[in-house]
Amino acid sequence: MRRPALYSSSSRSINDSDSAQPLQGPVNSNGQHQTLRGRFRAMFRFARHDTRALWTVIGLLSLLLLATLWLALLRPGARQLTQTDIDAAVLKTLESNVLPSPAAKAYEAILPSLVRVTSYVKNKDGDEDIEQAVGTGVVIIDKGIILTNLHVIQGAETIKVVFSDGLESTASVKGTQESDDLAVLQAHKIPDDLHAATMRSTADLVPGDQVVAVGFPFGIGPSVSSGVVSGLKRVFRSPQTNQEISNLIQFDAAANPGNSGGPLVTMDGQVVGIVTAILNPGRQRTFIGIGFAVPIENAASAVGLHPF
């Protein structure tokens, strides 16, 4: 749960002697006052790992530049501030600070809803769990409802999920939709601040739209790869089960075994599909440039939802 903000107060008032002192920054670990430049460097070191904070700092710097230019106009003989001056000031601020890529922002948006899914079966003696498959899932309802691929958990005696904050839980199968290779899981324990992914209709999706695939390829992750939608309404037949799945999204963001069940995400961080298969003419089971995802409309119907 979110913690309430804590505030502190001080009864100390500013006296005349205080006002007579020169303006100084906070004291650092060496007992020296930080310069204003040092304070801004510290702010950037903190904000570089947080997109919202980074934008806030950039906004503050832009306002500071504009204020400086405005004050300069108040001086006698100063030239008039133009739109070119403003554009140049903002551009200089943006050029001096590297912003996250669209793929990085999409990854950041979906990460709190990402789940690692592992299925287990008993060994021959029936006294030990053996890993059967590793895949990916995505939280679509914040009560612990998770979408994944049916082939990831099919035949499993035990299913375990790990949330983005590291919480591990067992899970049970709430429902399946074999025609789309989908399974719905219910986690038995969930984080206090669990976030459900935002789903987006594929109605306006077109070839060339940028997407990212996020998951645990070969159990490594979370991993992100970027690409584009290569085609729509594709048909794929599984070489293992001979099952045919239709109305698929084709994409070229790298995916491998372990990505199954993971989200296909647009640049605004919204889920348009569930990764379900990769084209494999050979036996290597590695990505050759063609992946398939079930449209989120089909996936949502597996849990009785139609979000659009």
Q: Which of 205, 213, 204, 273 is nearest to 245 (CA)?
A: 273
| DSSP code per residue over 47-93 | HTT-HHHHHHHHHHHHHHHHHHHHHHHHSTTPPPP-HHHHHHHHHHH
Is 306 noted as a catalytic residue in this protein?
no
Backbone angles phi, psi at 292, to 5 degrees: -130, 145
From the list 113, 169, 181, 230, the catalytic residue is 181
Looking at the chain, the number of H-run helices and the number of E-run strands are 7, 12
Rounded CA separation 112/195 (Å) = 6
The long-range contacts involving 52-61, CB below 8 angstroms and separated by at least 24 positions, are 54/97, 54/99, 54/100, 57/97, 58/93, 58/94, 58/97, 58/99, 61/93
Is 151 noted as a catalytic residue in this protein?
yes
Neighbouring CB atoms inside 10 A of 126's CB total 8
Is 33 noted as a catalytic residue in this protein?
no
Rounded CA separation 229/211 (Å) = 7
Q: Which tokens is 11 given?
A: 């009864």
Catalytic residues: 151, 181, 260
